[in-house]
Amino acid sequence: MALESVNPYTGRVLRRFRAFSWPKTERILAQVHRTGQQWRTTSFAHRAGLMHRAAQLLRERQDELARLMALEMGKPVTDGRAEVLKCALTCDYYADHAEDFLRDEEIKTEARRSFISHEPLGVVLAVMPWNFPLWQVFRFAAPALMAGNVGLLKHASNVPQCALALEKVFQDAGFPEHAFRALLIGSDLVERLIADDRVRAVTLTGSEGAGAQVAATAGRHIKKTVLELGGADAFIVLADADLELAARIAAQARMINAGQSCIAAKRFIVEKPVVKEFVARMKEHLLAFRPGDPLDDATQYGPLARPDLADELTLQVEDSVRQGAKVALEGGQDRPGTALFRPMILRNVRPGQRAYEEELFGPVAVILEARDADDAIRLANDSRFGLGGSIWTRDEQRGQDLARRIEAGAVFVNAMVKSSPEMPFGGVKKSGYGRELSHLGIREFVNQKSIWIAKPEEQEEKKVE
């Protein structure tokens, strides 16, 4: 089996890699496991020094890493540089805060002393996607390594060069050679890895189907998992919103990474009195985005990561139109088998249509009309996903109150949904479980051990007279 690195803009094969055999994979697992026994004993100060060095290397290599992402999965280099810098920021964040996040937590009980100790689990297997080839990995790796764990990365098969570049950053920063290793393997070996007792936990970012498979395997083998899966984020626009601002940010939120983002806004739920004006304004902003070569600094969105992804998105749109949806902005593929997909808007979307029920992982905006704010919340929650969402209104308190009613892991008021190291990230319902980032993220893969120190028994000596 071979893993191919293919430029989605040109269609050219950049490199081919022979997939690792199970014996080679098992040998690396053994090395990582042995390294973990020593790494867990290192100090936070030692780990922090190396993590700060990794952040420095990321900043120094931002151009070459951005170029690599552009070549392997079509991300414009300007977006790629921003992704690299966000990874560096997260490395620094956990280097600075991990010790405080994992400090012994004193608990008042009848014991002389009782506390919770946060201790590393060991080998954490990360199954990661191609859409943010560096960021998805670092938001797991930075906290996991700072907590004293070691990492095994099974990256998406179309970004093998990114996987190797990630491994090299950690090694060049001075981490032990086997503290973080990339496995160039297919999905066929993932189940075997999860079954191995040396793998203590699994984190996956990916599709609902992949998450279900990994969770089922991990469940059979009693392994802790964190799943960050799909999303169909609601972008609620109330009648009192600043429509120009909302429409401009709506276009940006739909076009994140050419629409290939779990937290990209996908369902635009607009109160009836302003829906016509909102759609007109959003259309203008979408048409202003410039496609082109991802290596060109002027390019604002590139191709989808693979032609088959564009083909599938086209099929979702065509099926939805046959089911009654209306195209309000023409776009899509120029022809089947090509990766470029221009932005589209769909209206008259109803339950039962694919555009209503499924995640559209590309630049297709779905417009849903709401009677009022309560109806908007109903529509937002009428989804099997629950990752993120946003509410647009001039009444901040009303926005905050409505945000509490949305079934999602994050809701932003008058802002585009985004991730940051300070705030927890994750979803509910079919968007997964567990949290990444913040103090919650670093505590996902630790043993929260209760330690109890008993009071000394009081013994009184009786005098015998």
| Residues carrying an active site annotation | 228, 262
Distance CA 250, CA 89 (A): 26
Pairing of strands 265-271, 233-237: parallel
Q: Are 152 and 193 in contact (CB under 8 A)?
A: yes
Q: Helices (DSSP H) in 228-304: which residue ranges? A: 243-255, 275-288
How far, in Å, CA of 111 to CA of 455, rounded?
Answer: 6
Residue 398, CB-side half-sphere exposure with 13 Å CA sphere: 14
Contact 234, 270 (CB under 8 A): no
Cβ atoms 446, 147 nearer than 8 A: yes
Q: Which amino acid is at 115?
A: F
**Amino acid sitting at position 160:** P
SS (H, E, C) 356-407: HHCCCCCCEEEEEEECCHHHHHHHHHCCCEECEEEEECCCHHHHHHHHCCCC
Q: Please check whether residue 83 is in contact with residue 134, taking contact to mean a CB–CB distance below 8 angstroms.
A: yes
Token couple for 127: 């199954």
Q: Give the span between the Cα atoms of 226 and 219, in whole angstroms.
A: 12
Integer Cα distance of 106 and 116 in angstroms: 7
- 325 backbone φψ class: left, alpha, beta (φ>0; ψ -120 to 50): beta
**What residues does 234 pair with on adjacent strands?**
267, 389
User: Within 13 Å of residue 450, how many CA atoms lie on the same side as its CB?
Assistant: 6
Instruction: Tell me 301's DSSP state.
Output: B
